[in-house]
Structure 1
Amino acid sequence: MTDVAIRPEELRDTVARVLGAKAREVTLVLDEVTAVVGAPDYLAAMRLLRDAPECKFDQLIDLCAVDYSSWRDLGAEGPRFAVVVHLLSVALNQRLRVRVFCPDDDFPVVPSLCPIWSGANWFEREAFDLYGVVFDGHEDLRRILTDYGFIGHPFRKDFPLSGEVEMRYDETQRRVVYEPVTIEPREVTPRIIREEHYAGLDRGDQWLGGVNR
């Protein structure tokens, strides 16, 4: 293991060289390297990143889904759903973000990474539960955070804030029942109260708690 991390510019160039045509783009922003790959090349690219001697990304430390539908309000085009993976190389002390877009907005599917990193299991289940992204090849793809009768995927941008149904325990039936939502869907913006002398903010060179420096 090395204690010195590779320079971000070198990592960007290395990842671009290792992935070759499998990378649609490799960018460096705020000292963080991000590689975008296509769904057909997803598994092959990830195996390269794990096995290439100059990469050695042996750990998957995070995986999540993203709903980009609100970008269209800004005029941006492209697929709605993406899966974002963060990789770590312990041996080379370097990190990488990989993004893959789901080709079909109506039925978002990408291959499962479980055959490469078994730790992807619960991350992919969470992304399926919250965003509805299907991971082809996952051996136990079921909800992990919401309950078994939950309808929809709550992290999608078009999911109602009040949900689709509400649940309660029925004493007569002695079981949990699901019913239509009875509360009115609405958005509440908290009122911000600003006090002119709050916490000593008007005291210039003093600590916020009122203690002199």
Structure 2
Amino acid sequence: MSESLQALAEKVAERFGAAIEGSAIERNELTLEVAAGSLREVCTALRDEEAFAFEQLIDLCGVDYSAYGRDEWDGENGPDTGFSRGVEGGSGRDCAFTPKARFAVVYHLLSVKYNRRLRLRAFVADESLPRIDSLVDIWSAANWFEREAFDLYGILFDGHPDLRRILTDYGFVGHPFRKDFPLSGHVEMRYDPEKRRVVYEPVSIDPRTLVPRVIRDDHRYLGDGEAHES
């Protein structure tokens, strides 16, 4: 499988040249990094040219890499009693992948003709106003996927015919999948019997850090008395 994926990666790199900024094969999956400015050209060719024939877009999602590579718990060497609160970057593990920007859009393509899949990733340069070209006219399935990425990450898709929220409410503030979005949100809503409508108010929950609780109840962690009783 990896040999066929490597051959596909070489074929794509030869066809598109500098538009392909990187490639990686992990877990028998090929990921190509595409320059955002060349995205439409590359995707059109991947769909139409006989050598590729990726007829279907099966998924599209946004990614926020702002906290990538920073962890707060060492999940591989936790103590027997569970995990205590760690510090940012506590485990000190190195990441093999270094993001080029905070936001990226990831596309998953399927070739029914050749029975193979391809992942494309395009980084969005402007963090304050992330935007990239829409692919709705190339794959119509991109329509709701792009609306979802706009709703959850705030990524704008230029040329989308109807770019508006799809999962959150019309009055929702912010984009909930961004890493800097608070877990409790910014506002909460309730029904006001006097006004006879739903009203929005500043969230009343105090922001706090959630610490995972690990409960182990097998024989290794029972006390001596409990172990003998069982």
TM-score by length of 2: 0.80
- On the 8 A contact 2:173/2:187 being kept in 1, the answer is yes
Q: 2:112 aligns with which of 83, 86, 90?
A: 90
Q: 1:71 aligns with which of 41, 65, 68?
A: 68
Deviations 1:143-171 (A, max 9, x none): 00000000000000000111000000111
Determine whether 1:39 maps to 2:61: no
User: Runs ≥4 in structure 1, deviation > 4 angstroms?
Assistant: 72-77
Post-superposition offset of 1:29: 2.1
For the structure 1 residues 99 and 137, does the alpha-carbon distance in structure 2 shift closer, same or farther, using more than 3 Å as the test?
A: same
Q: What is the CA–CA distance in structure 1 between the aligned matches of 2:52 and 2:2, rounded to whole Å?
A: 12
Q: Any idea what SS the aligned residue of 1:44 has? A: helix
Counterpart of 1:172, as a letter, is: E
Post-superposition offset of 1:77: 6.1
Counterpart of 1:134, as a letter, is: L
**Matched residues, percent identical?**
55
Q: Which has the higher contact order (CA 8 A, sep 6+)?
A: 2
Unaligned runs of 5+ in 1: 199-213
Determine whether 1:109 maps to 2:131: yes
Q: Any idea what SS the aligned residue of 2:180 has? A: coil
Instruction: Name 1:160's counterpart in structure 2.
Output: 182
Of 12-21 and 150-159, deviating more is: 12-21
Q: What is the CA–CA distance in structure 1 between the aligned matches of 2:4 and 2:99, rounded to whole Å?
A: 32
Q: 2:191 aligns with which of 169, 173, 181?
A: 169
Deviations 1:50-94 (A, max 9, x none): 112111000000000000111375795631100000000000111
For the structure 1 residues 6 and 89, does the alpha-carbon distance in structure 2 shift closer, same or farther, using more than 3 Å as the test?
A: farther
Q: What is the CA–CA distance in structure 2 between the aligned matches of 1:142 and 1:178, rounded to whole Å?
A: 20
Q: What is the CA–CA distance in structure 1 between the aligned matches of 2:164 and 2:149, rounded to whole Å?
A: 10
Q: What is the CA–CA distance in structure 1 between the aligned matches of 2:210 and 2:22, rounded to whole Å?
A: 40
Q: 1:179 aligns with which of 194, 197, 201?
A: 201
Unaligned runs of 5+ in 2: 71-88, 90-94, 221-230
Q: What is the CA–CA distance in structure 2 between the aligned matches of 1:163 and 1:99, rounded to whole Å?
A: 29
Q: 1:20 aligns with which of 10, 17, 22?
A: 17
Q: Any idea what SS the aligned residue of 1:151 has? A: coil
Of 186-195 and 171-180, deviating more is: 186-195
Q: What is the CA–CA distance in structure 1 between the aligned matches of 2:13 and 2:100, rounded to whole Å?
A: 22
Instruction: Name 1:211's counterpart in structure 2.
Output: none
How many pairs does the alignment contain?
Answer: 195
Post-superposition offset of 1:7: 1.9
Counterpart of 2:5, as a letter, is: P
Of 74-83 and 64-73, deviating more is: 74-83
Q: What is the CA–CA distance in structure 2 between the aligned matches of 1:160 and 1:133, rounded to whole Å?
A: 18
For the structure 1 residues 29 and 5, does the alpha-carbon distance in structure 2 shift closer, same or farther, using more than 3 Å as the test?
A: closer
Determine whether 1:118 maps to 2:140: yes
Q: What is the CA–CA distance in structure 2 between the aligned matches of 1:113 and 1:182, rounded to whole Å?
A: 40
- On the 8 A contact 1:160/1:185 being kept in 2, the answer is yes
Q: What is the CA–CA distance in structure 2 between the aligned matches of 1:7 and 1:39, rounded to whole Å?
A: 26
TM-score by length of 1: 0.86
Of 146-155 and 42-51, deviating more is: 42-51
Determine whether 1:191 maps to 2:213: yes
Q: What is the CA–CA distance in structure 2 between the aligned matches of 1:6 and 1:94, rounded to whole Å?
A: 13
Q: What is the CA–CA distance in structure 2 between the aligned matches of 1:94 and 1:30, rounded to whole Å?
A: 14
Post-superposition offset of 1:5: 11
- On the 8 A contact 1:69/1:80 being kept in 2, the answer is yes
